[in-house]
Amino acid sequence: MSMSLAVKTENLGRVFRLKRREGKTPRGEPARKEVVALSGVDLEVPAGELFGVLGPNGAGKTTLIKVLNTLLSPTSGRARVAGVDVCENPAEVRRHIGVVSGGETSGYGLLTVEENLWMFTQFYGLSSREGKRRIAYLLDIVGLADRAKTKIYHLSTGMRQKMNFARGFLTDPEILFLDEPTLGLDVQTSRLLRDFVRRWMEEQRERTILLTTHYMQEADELCGRVAIIDQGTILACDRPAALKRKLQGSSAVRLQLVGVEDPQGLAERLRELGALTLSEVDGHLEVDLILERDNAIQRALGMVGESGGEIVGLQKREPTLEDVFIALVGRGLSGEGR
Amino acid sequence: MRLRREGALFLRTVIGRAYPRMVGLQREKSWLVFDVLLPLLQVSAFVFIYRAVQAPPEFTGFVVLGGAMTAYWMNVLWNMASQLYWEKETGNLEIYMVAPTSRMAILLGMALGGMVATTVRAAAVLILGTLLFRVEIALTDAPALVGVFLLTLVALYGMGMLLSSLYLLFGREAWHMSNLLQEPVYLLSGLYFPVRSLGAWAAAGASLIPMTLGLDAMRQLLFPAMTDFAFLPVHYELAILGGLSILFVGGARWALAYMEGVARRQGRLTVRGQ
């Protein structure tokens, strides 16, 4: 892997053919429904990069990871991991990778944390001594050292997630896929794990991480570059700062409103000025607007007035990756705003 | 060098996967009730029936031996055949699939762990049953008995390994499949009676279940006075068990590779709830 690309995909696609339930097939339609999970994905991730894939739930992030870690075959295009084609030689690909998925429930409840992790080290050929040394080190890092001898059915969901996180790093893989690794974790734990990821990357320059997340702060904080994905297609790919710079000239504004009689009607009108998301927060309507021109704010305020709404808060802020996403697809990462 | 590394990885995987079976299964103390006392109750019922009809005392030994072997069948059915399905449901299967190790090593680890853990249970049934019902054993050929026993286990767990991939391929509900197979095998393999009683054709068909011939051969070797009830000579049974071992272990290897191919193409086998 000299000047090597840790991951390269060319026109990668994955279509799922789902069987319709008997009696549920509309007349004249095929018995199988096709769902496009990935379409025309081109990515190049050099070795040593912490690369993020940011998108809402169902955008295709996990499918992409599954193709790259050899769990799924692509239906079109090619993917190479550590220079090896995932279809031609999946066994070789597996020698170079590690995977951690958020919300994972792996392991055996009757075994202790230490025993579970030891078992996984054996599947990677680590000697027992080396495995135990790394287990102790990683349990300390993730704050589970005092739970090493606890059977995992006594662990909370967060603790189990920490254990799974540690498992991914046990074998010190060349390329690590982190699929929503902080999903469901509290803020403090997420920060702890993010700090560790950063340190782990700094320890050896050749290590590569491909991180999927729908937490824009996570992507922003950790990743050298970020690809924004929606409905299986990569919409943009660049450094977080560069992506946000694309919104220069635009204004990111948050309005907090009360008394709006027809929020959807107002949203329709505001959409003439730029992309937006709409949500109910603490009894008021919160509108995040990406205005294409700075001076459009006056018009936006006028529209609010015409809708009978009253402005209780107005905040102009620096664009975030979420704003980039809103500007690209017209809705937020959590899915609202369409 | 590479071969040596691969061999070491294979061995580590077998041991790694066998460990939770050997340790985990014994940690739930309920096994003493479910895997020792309950089978003994079932054995008792048959012992009393045979005694009531004044069957030769060796029949008590037949039943106790059958009761001990039940533990292996239960283990193969519930902890081997259904295992990949449960691994999928608990989220372990994906981790196995992305590990750079042989899937056969993982299955072998499951089988080996299951054998060791179940032997503790089977031995408990055998010892307690022998003492409780005063079974008299007249062992004629110890090496042959060990050979039959080991080959029976290899063939039986080979069948379990094969079934584990098939369950995953064809059965969404492994639980129902296991339920479906449990009782017919009790009957067909002659766990509590000489399989010859089923008639030659039925017994020949039942011989596809490794326990059928294994039990028949072990009974001949432990209770030589009862050879009139034997289905086939021991050396034939040994040869057939050897053939079944190759067939099932080879079949398991093929089925596993096929299952993995389907999993990657269809993307459903390693996903929970499918």
Quick: pLDDT tens for B157-200. 999 999 988 888 876 677 787 888 888 888 888 888 999 999 99
pLDDT in tens, B16-68: 999 998 887 778 778 777 778 888 898 999 999 999 999 999 999 999 999 99
The answer to whether B270 contacts A123, with C-beta atoms less than 8 Å apart, is no
Interface test with B, best of A71, A86, A130 (most B CBs within 10 A): A71
Of A73, A94, A110, the CB nearest to B98: A94
* pTM for the full predicted model: 0.83
Interface test with A, best of B6, B98, B259, B270 (most A CBs within 10 A): B98
- Candidate from A40-54, A272-286, B99-113 with smallest mean pLDDT: A272-286
The answer to whether A71 contacts B13, with C-beta atoms less than 8 Å apart, is no
Of B16, B94, B267, the CB nearest to A123: B16
- Candidate from A180-189, B189-198, B241-250 with smallest mean pLDDT: A180-189
The answer to whether A115 contacts B20, with C-beta atoms less than 8 Å apart, is yes
B104 chain-A contacts, CB cut-off 8 A = none
* Overall average pLDDT of the A195-216 stretch: 90
Distance CA A78, CA A10 (A): 5
Distance CA B56, CA A228 (A): 79
Phi-psi region of A328 (alpha: psi -120 to 50; beta: other; left: phi over 0): alpha
B95 chain-A contacts, CB cut-off 8 A = 99, 106, 120, 167
A160 touches chain B (CB under 8 A): no
Interface test with B, best of A122, A149, A153, A175 (most B CBs within 10 A): A122
A21 touches chain B (CB under 8 A): no
The answer to whether B98 contacts A124, with C-beta atoms less than 8 Å apart, is no
Identity of the residue numbered B71: A
B1 chain-A contacts, CB cut-off 8 A = none
pLDDT in tens, B94-137: 899 999 999 889 988 988 898 888 898 899 889 999 999 999 98
Distance CA B246, CA B252 (A): 10
Identity of the residue numbered A161: Q
Longest dimension (CA), chain B: 65
Identity of the residue numbered A229: I
What pLDDT, on a 0 to 100 scale, did the predictor assign at position A338?
33
Here the tokens at position A158 are: 């967060």
Of B25, B99, B267, the CB nearest to A72: B267
B15 chain-A contacts, CB cut-off 8 A = 122
B267 chain-A contacts, CB cut-off 8 A = 14, 16, 63, 66, 71-73
What pLDDT, on a 0 to 100 scale, did the predictor assign at position A335?
52
The answer to whether B20 contacts A99, with C-beta atoms less than 8 Å apart, is no
- Candidate from A222-236, A258-272, B184-198, B240-254 with smallest mean pLDDT: A258-272
The answer to whether B99 contacts A110, with C-beta atoms less than 8 Å apart, is no
Interface test with B, best of A15, A119, A123 (most B CBs within 10 A): A123
Of A73, A105, A108, the CB nearest to B24: A108
| Residue A337, pLDDT above cutoff 70 | no
**Contact of B72 with B153, CB cutoff 8 Å:** yes
B-side interface with A, Cβ within 8 Å? Answer: 5, 8-9, 12-13, 15-17, 19-20, 23-25, 27-28, 90-92, 94-101, 106, 263-265, 267, 270
Distance CA A266, CA A72 (A): 44
pLDDT in tens, A124-156: 999 999 999 999 999 998 889 999 999 998 998
The answer to whether B264 contacts A90, with C-beta atoms less than 8 Å apart, is yes
Burial of B59 (0-12, 13-18, 19+ CB in 10 A): buried
Alpha carbons within 13 A on the beta-carbon side of B172: 5
Q: Residue B106 to residues A3, A150, A222, B99: CA-CA distances in angstroms? A: 36, 25, 36, 10
Q: Residue B57 to residues A332, B25, B47, B88, B136: CA-CA distances in angstroms? A: 79, 34, 9, 47, 8
Can you state the angle between helices B142-170 and B210-222, rounded to 10 degrees? 160
Residue of chain B whose alpha carbon sits nearest to that of A91 = B100
